[in-house]
Structure 1
Amino acid sequence: MEEIVRSLVMVLMRGSEYQMICKCPKCEADIMALTLNSVPSHYVTSSFGREAAYEQLNTKENLEWINKRIIRAIHVVSKYPKH
């Protein structure tokens, strides 16, 4: 889940919708942490488990659901930055 969230945060933060949002490492880490706290954990212990979890999570519906959590986190962190 962390890898998916990290890549989606990077894509969304570089998009035109969020040009005015702070992109410092602290804010990006806060956005990732807030997002990861709002999605279920998926722990794996092998590369096979990692690939299986990635395939399970990498669906259109799931990515849209995660994007909504990221967008919510972006708005929260931009409203209440910790720096």
Structure 2
Amino acid sequence: MEEIVESLVTYLLLSPDFQLFCKCEKCKMDIIAYSLNNLPHHYVTTDKGREHVFEQLNTDENRKWINKRIISAIYLVGNYPKHLDEH
């Protein structure tokens, strides 16, 4: 799940739809973390298990479902970026 979310976040942040949102490393990692916390966990210990879970998750329906959670995270982090607290 982590690999899927990380690649989708990277891809979505390149979209013109999100051009107004911060794309710094802190915000990107916050988006990934928030997304992963709101998606089911899939732990595996072998490459075969990893491939099985990836195939299971890599459907149009599941990608749409995962994208919705990532987009929610982008808006949440974009509206309340933590990096502003560090300055």
State the TM-score bracket (shorter-chain normalisation). over 0.9
Count of residues in Structure 1 that have an aligned counterpart in Structure 2: 83
What percentage of residue pairs aligned between the two structures are identical? 59
**1:51 alignment partner in structure 2:** 51
Distance, in Å, in 1 between the alignment partners of 2:23 and 2:76 is 14
Q: So what's the TM-score if we normalise by structure 1?
A: 0.98
Taking structure 2 as the reference length, the TM-score comes to 0.94
**Corresponding residue SS for 1:11:** helix
Which 5+ residue runs of structure 2 have no aligned equivalent? none
Match of residue 8 from structure 1:
8
List structure 1 runs of 4+ shifted beyond 6 angstroms.
none
2:10 maps to amino acid: M
Q: Deviations over 1:9-64 (max 9, x none)?
A: 00000011011110000000000000000000000000000000000000000000
Q: What's the counterpart of residue 22 of structure 2?
A: 22
Return 5+ residue gaps in structure 1 as ranges.
none
Which residue number corresponds to residue 34 of structure 1? 34
Tell me the SS of whatever aligns to 2:82.
coil
